[in-house]
Amino acid sequence: MAPVIHWFRRDLRLTDNTALHHAAEAGSVIPAYVLSTWKREHGWTGPLRQSFLCGCLQSLAANLEHLHSRLIIRAGDAVAELEKLAVETRAAAIFFNRDPDPFGKATEVRVRAMCGRLGIRCESFKDTVLHDPDEVLTGEGQPYRVFTPYSKNWLGLPKAGPLPRPSVLGPAPKVASLPLPAPAYWQLEPVNDPCFPLPGERAARGRMKHFVDDGILAGYAMHRDEPHGQSTSMLSQDLRFGLISIRELFQRTQRHAKFVQELAWREFYMAILHHWPEVLDHEFNPQWRGMAWPGTNEHFTRWREGRTGFPIVDAGMRQLLTTGLMHNRVRMIVAMFLTKDLHCDWRWGEQFFHQHLVDAEIASNNGGWQWSAGTGADAAPYFRIQNPWSQTRRYDPEARYIKHWLPELRHVPVESLVSPPSHGGSIAAGYPPPMVDHAVERERTLALFAQHRARHGRA
């Protein structure tokens, strides 16, 4: 019987992997991963994510060896490399899980055409989401623009359960393979910070067990907005790289409505991107297209380096730059600060997050930035402008998160970290004073949005 290829993409696990499960049922499996060939810099990733990817591929390769199989690494254009591999191995089919992003979907179109040209089967599967975008539509068959009715429909649909881990994949393929990559492959420096999340399926499953079994999930609804310590699942990078399955995670958390709601938000943003792919370049709400964003490169640089003089903002950026992660509440604070206090284009922040977040998900990242900017689907109204100081008092009242990520402020009294300095100067020696006055910039934001509406004749 001719072998089949399983093309690993963002599903770097063996457990409950839909395409891999069906490939194993179809015959001997050739597991393959195709590396990108860019070097040094990329607009949508960076050293942290690539370091995590390398660790995930090492873990996947080791897990495949335990099944007496072998991960085949190729590099270049995915379609061309898969075609070469199919010809070399005389494969009967290519199996893969579908990608939710426009770039991945465009590649899938080419893969299907290539398979047709070779006369082999092309088998694709839903795996990244519980429900594809076209499964959750209004009664008129239209996509939702607002989360609440979407989530009600989404919650009411039956959910598929997990699939078993394959026990046999066939003999290790005897074809050429590149070595497993290190960050140096992309001419990047490796990341060795102890706060960096451990990559691989085993580490991800350990994080999921810790979240579910050790009281964090039970306290999620009450504590999820507290940035100090672990109050959230810490599984976003594991879903992004497919180290755990969305089906198993839902099965283990389904009795906790607030957390399940976050899973629905993830798929809502993927549906928005599917139905309106133009959101990657333009505001989702046409009312705000062409908005002026007068923020400067200097302001953006201070924001991205964590030198704004607003402790909660700077702490969030330090966490991001160190670990590739940032607490979700803090993401909203720093995003709204960049767009509403510094008046910088949300696309600047979106790209910066994508280059530095280990868990960067194109749909969620875009949706989050447009929500904060007031331009997106079901976004915060433009006049809802979070105050970084009041957010600090509410969610980090003892400044434990701030003092962890800003060691230069560890000896500063808490009251000086949760309210703006009355004198307008620096909170501590060596720490910059607040770069703007929030009250002043709030009024400026309201004026910018009002001016745009007036110019375009909208009430």
Let me know: does 33 contact 86? Beta carbons within 8 Å: no
Both tokens of residue 31? 């597991």
Name the one residue in this structure whose structure tokens are 């922040």. Answer: 349
356: in domain = yes
- 43 and 4, same structural domain? yes
Domain containing residue 380: CATH number: 1.10.579.10
| Single residue among 255, 275, 295 that ends a domain in this structure | 275
Residues 324 and 346 in one domain: yes
Q: Which of 259, 275, 291 is the last residue of a domain?
A: 275
Q: Are residues 236 and 285 in the same domain?
A: no
Q: What Rg value do the Cα atoms of the chain yield, rounded?
A: 23
The residue out of 275, 303, 330 marking a domain boundary is 275
**Sign of the torsion formed by the C-alpha atoms of 246, 16, 327 and 189:** negative
Half-sphere exposure of 249 (CA within 13 A, CB side): 30
| Rounded Cα–Cα distance for residues 34 and 3 (Å) | 18
Q: Are residues 263 and 148 in the same domain?
A: yes
Q: Say yes or no: 271 and 325 in one domain.
A: no
CATH code assigned at 236: 1.25.40.80
Q: What is the CATH number of the domain that holds 29?
A: 3.40.50.620
Output the six-digit token pair for 242. 């497919």
Q: Is residue 346 included in any domain, yes or no?
A: yes
Give CA–CA dist 102/108, Å, rounded. 10
Domains identified in the chain, total number: 3
Closest alpha carbon to 345 in 306, 314, 383, 372: 372
Specify whether 243 is located in the same domain as 354: no
Residue-level pLDDT at 455? 86
Annotated catalytic residues are 262, 265, 293, 328, 346, 369
Whole-Å CA distances, 333 to 225, 228, 269, 392: 11, 15, 19, 9
Q: Check residue 339 and report its DSSP letter.
A: I
State the DSSP code for 243. Answer: S
Element holding 61 (H helix, E strand): helix 47-66
Examine residue 314 and state whether it is found in any structural domain, yes or no.
yes
Let me know whether 348 and 432 are in one domain.
Answer: yes
**108 lies in the same domain as 220:** no
The structure's pTM equals 0.96
Q: What are the pLDDT tens digits along the chain (459 aa)?
A: 899 999 999 999 999 999 999 999 999 999 999 999 999 999 889 999 999 999 999 999 999 999 999 999 999 999 999 999 999 999 999 999 999 999 999 999 999 999 999 999 999 999 999 999 999 999 999 999 999 999 999 999 999 999 999 999 999 999 999 999 999 999 999 887 778 899 999 999 999 999 999 999 999 999 999 999 999 999 999 999 999 999 999 999 999 999 999 999 999 999 999 999 999 999 999 999 999 999 999 999 999 999 999 999 999 999 999 999 999 999 999 999 999 999 999 999 999 999 999 999 999 999 999 999 999 998 778 888 999 999 999 999 999 999 999 999 999 999 999 999 988 789 999 999 999 999 999 999 999 999 999 887 654
Residue 60 falls inside a structural domain: yes
Whether residue 175 is contained in a domain is answered as: no
In a domain, 458, yes or no: no
Shared domain check, 214 and 334: no
* Residues 106 and 33 reside in one and the same domain: yes
* pLDDT at position 404: 97
Residues 442 and 296 in one domain: yes
Instruction: Identify the CA nearest to 267 among candidates 105, 103, 135, 374.
Output: 135
Q: What is the per-residue pLDDT for 457?
A: 60
Domain ranges, residue 228? 129-162+201-275
336 by Cβ neighbours in 10 Å (0-12 / 13-18 / 19+) ranks as buried
Q: Pick the closest to residue 316 from 293, 349, 267 (CA basis).
A: 349
Residues 444 and 395 in one domain: yes
pLDDT score for 458: 55
Whether residue 459 is contained in a domain is answered as no
What is the distance, to the nearest Å, from the Cα of residue 236 to the centroid of all Cα atoms in its chain?
A: 7
CA distance 172 to 31: 9
Closest of 21, 4, 212, 276 to residue 125, by C-alpha = 21
DSSP state of 342: S
Any domain includes 190: no
